[in-house]
């Protein structure tokens, strides 16, 4: 299908900034649908800890790629790129514009730019890295990546084991650092792209993050994590909000300390997201306190 003239509106920004609200506002204004590129919200067993849209939000506009997988499913960014592009092709038959939203930078990049064409993961390498993670911890994987690819190490989400697995697997397969492949030719998209972010002072963002963690705990995050404890080795659960509470459940940390670690690690994650998005020059920013008029004015100028 020729998608020239069609528009993908990508809502980007750090966790806790209000992307879901903005995406729904735009979808309602344009009477269109939302495609999620939040890799954590794919997994149906993790609604509280991933701040998955609630029933009211899901009812406010059609959503895709929310709670569509189980933590026991194997899923890759390459598979997501294929699935998301197929979904967009269907949606563009009905709508002139579609909204993409999520804080997973690489997943957003996969849709708007395309992935670097890299070899498939070798499971023998992944199993070895999983064993290293279990026996020696995340620090060991970070050390290996820093030695193998210092350039990628500086900008990677080094708290995410999956990112480390992929970069080290590529290095072991090819003998070349992952960063070597990042500027290779990518397929061109034939739809237009408008990227919108929300701007807020760092201290305000951190305050919002701290409050959101407290709200998650009030909503039952600990009970959610307890139900997933037996699956704690699953890759989908190697993420902020879950790993800290697993340590509390295992008796390694107090609950208060675990909650403070969630807040601290979420703030760190947000800082890395801000660094990621600041490298892009094509993001149109709205202030945190934007009005409907501000939003409509931006869309009128850019569409």
Q: Which domains does the chain have, with CATH numbers?
A: 7-115+186-302 (3.40.50.300), 123-181 (1.10.20.140)
- The C-alpha atoms of residue 150 and residue 45 are separated, in whole angstroms, by 35
What average pLDDT does the segment 199-224 reach? Answer: 97
Give the alpha-carbon dihedral of 126, 132, 134, 137, to 10 degrees: -120
Q: Given this model, what pLDDT does residue 38 score?
A: 96
- The C-alpha atoms of residue 120 and residue 106 are separated, in whole angstroms, by 17
pLDDT tens string 88-132: 999 999 999 999 999 888 899 999 988 766 777 888 999 899 999
Q: Given this model, what pLDDT does residue 183 score?
A: 59
The response to whether 16 counts as a known ligand-binding position is: yes
Q: What is the DSSP letter of 72?
A: T
Q: Is the predicted pLDDT of residue 194 greater than 70, yes or no?
A: yes
The response to whether 19 counts as a known ligand-binding position is: yes
Q: Is the predicted pLDDT of residue 2 greater than 70, yes or no?
A: no
pLDDT tens string 219-237: 999 999 999 999 999 989 9
The response to whether 275 counts as a known ligand-binding position is: no
pLDDT tens string 9-64: 999 999 999 999 999 999 999 999 999 999 999 999 999 999 999 999 999 999 99
User: In this prediction, what percent of the chain has a pLDDT beyond 90?
Assistant: 72
The response to whether 14 counts as a known ligand-binding position is: yes
What sign has the CA pseudo-torsion 167, 187, 275, 41?
A: negative
Q: Given this model, what pLDDT does residue 189 score?
A: 87
- The C-alpha atoms of residue 7 and residue 229 are separated, in whole angstroms, by 42
Provide the CA 45 distance to its chain's centre, in angstroms. Answer: 17
The pTM assigned to this predicted structure is 0.80
The response to whether 15 counts as a known ligand-binding position is: yes
Q: Given this model, what pLDDT does residue 243 score?
A: 96
Kindly indicate the confidence band of residue 185, based on its pLDDT and cuts at 50, 70 and 90.
low
The response to whether 50 counts as a known ligand-binding position is: no
Q: Is the predicted pLDDT of residue 1 greater than 70, yes or no?
A: no
Pick from 161, 167, 155: nearest CA to 134? 161
């Amino acid at each position: 299908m020729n998608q020239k003239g069609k528009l993908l509106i990508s809502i980007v920004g750090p966790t806790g900034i209000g992307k879901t609200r903005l995406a729904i506002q735009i979808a309602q204004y344009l009477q269109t649908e939302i495609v999620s590129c939040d890799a954590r919200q794919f997994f149906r067993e993790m609604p509280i800890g991933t701040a998955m849209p609630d029933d009211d939000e899901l009812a406010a506009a059609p959503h895709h790629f929310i709670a569509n997988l189980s933590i026991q499913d194997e899923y890759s960014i390459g598979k997501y790129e294929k699935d998301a592009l197929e979904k967009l092709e269907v949606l563009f038959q009905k709508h002139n514009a579609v909204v993409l939203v999520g804080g997973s930078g690489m997943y957003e990049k996969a849709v708007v730019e395309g992935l670097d064409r890299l070899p498939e993961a070798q499971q023998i390498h992944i199993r070895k890295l999983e064993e290293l993670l279990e026996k020696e911890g995340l620090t060991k994987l970070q050390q290996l990546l820093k030695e193998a690819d210092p350039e990628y190490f500086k900008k990677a989400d080094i708290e995410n084991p999956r990112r480390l697995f992929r970069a080290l697997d590529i290095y072991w397969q090819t003998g070349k650092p992952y960063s070597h492949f990042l500027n290779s030719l990518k397929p061109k998209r034939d739809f237009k792209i408008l990227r919108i972010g929300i701007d807020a002072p760092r201290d305000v963002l951190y305050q919002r993050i701290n409050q959101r963690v407290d709200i998650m705990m009030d909503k039952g995050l600990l009970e959610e994590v307890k139900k997933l404890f037996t699956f704690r080795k699953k890759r989908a659960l190697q993420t902020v909000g879950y790993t800290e509470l697993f340590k509390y459940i295992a008796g390694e940390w107090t609950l208060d300390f675990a909650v403070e670690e969630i807040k601290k690690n979420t703030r760190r994650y947000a800082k890395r997201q801000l660094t990621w998005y600041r490298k892009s020059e094509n993001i149109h920013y709205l202030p945190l306190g934007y009005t409907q008029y501000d939003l409509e004015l931006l869309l009128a100028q850019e569409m």
